[in-house]
Structure 1
Amino acid sequence: MFEIGDVVIYSEHGLCKIDDICKKDLFGETRLYYVLHPLGEQTLKISTPVDGKKKRLMRTMNREEAEELMDVFGRPGIEWVDDPKHRARAYQSLVQSGDRQKIAEVTGALMDKKLNTDQKIYDQDRKILNHVQSILFRELSMALGISIEEVANRVEERILAGTPQ
Structure 2
Amino acid sequence: MFQVGEYIVCDHNGVCQVLAVTEMPELKKDVLYYQLEPVYSRGSRIFVPVDSNKLVMRRVFTEEEVETLLKEIPSIETIWISNEKKREEQYREVARKYDCREWVKIIKTIYLRKRNRRMEGKKTTYIDEKYMKLAEENLYGEISIPLKISPDRVERFIRNRIENKESE
Q: TM-score, normalised by structure 1?
A: 0.84
Q: Is the 8 A contact 1:13 1:135 kept in 2?
A: no
Q: Is the 8 A contact 2:15 2:40 kept in 1?
A: no
In the alignment, which residue of structure 2 is the partner of 1:2?
2
In 1, the alpha carbon distance for the partners of 2:82 and 2:109 equals 12
Q: 1:140 to 1:106 in 2, by over 3 A?
A: same
- Cα drift, residue 144 of structure 1: 2.3
Is 2:44 the partner of 1:44? yes
* Equivalent position amino acid for 1:136 in 2: L
Q: 1:120 to 1:67 in 2, by over 3 A?
A: farther
- The structure 2 residue matched to 1:132, chosen from 135, 141, 144, is 135
- Cα drift, residue 7 of structure 1: 1.2
In 2, the alpha carbon distance for the partners of 1:48 and 1:151 equals 29
Q: 1:164 to 1:64 in 2, by over 3 A?
A: farther
In 2, the alpha carbon distance for the partners of 1:97 and 1:82 equals 22
In the alignment, which residue of structure 2 is the partner of 1:15?
15
- Cα drift, residue 115 of structure 1: 4.0
In 2, the alpha carbon distance for the partners of 1:145 and 1:160 equals 21
Over the matched positions of the two proteins, sequence identity in percent amounts to: 24
In 2, the alpha carbon distance for the partners of 1:92 and 1:164 equals 35
* Equivalent position amino acid for 2:2 in 1: F
In 2, the alpha carbon distance for the partners of 1:164 and 1:35 equals 46
Aligned-CA RMSD value: 2.7
Unmatched 5+ residue regions in structure 1? none
SS at match of 1:18: strand
Q: TM-score, normalised by structure 2?
A: 0.82
Q: Is the 8 A contact 1:10 1:16 kept in 2?
A: yes
In 2, the alpha carbon distance for the partners of 1:164 and 1:43 equals 44
The C-alpha deviation readout for 1:105-155, integer Å capped at 9, x for no partner, is: 122111222245403221122111111111111222222233433321244
- Cα drift, residue 103 of structure 1: 2.3
In the alignment, which residue of structure 2 is the partner of 1:95?
95
Unmatched 5+ residue regions in structure 2? none
The C-alpha deviation readout for 1:40-77, integer Å capped at 9, x for no partner, is: 32222111110001111110111111012123434451
In the alignment, which residue of structure 2 is the partner of 1:146?
149
Higher relative contact order (CA 8 A, sep 6+): 1
How many aligned residue pairs are there?
A: 164
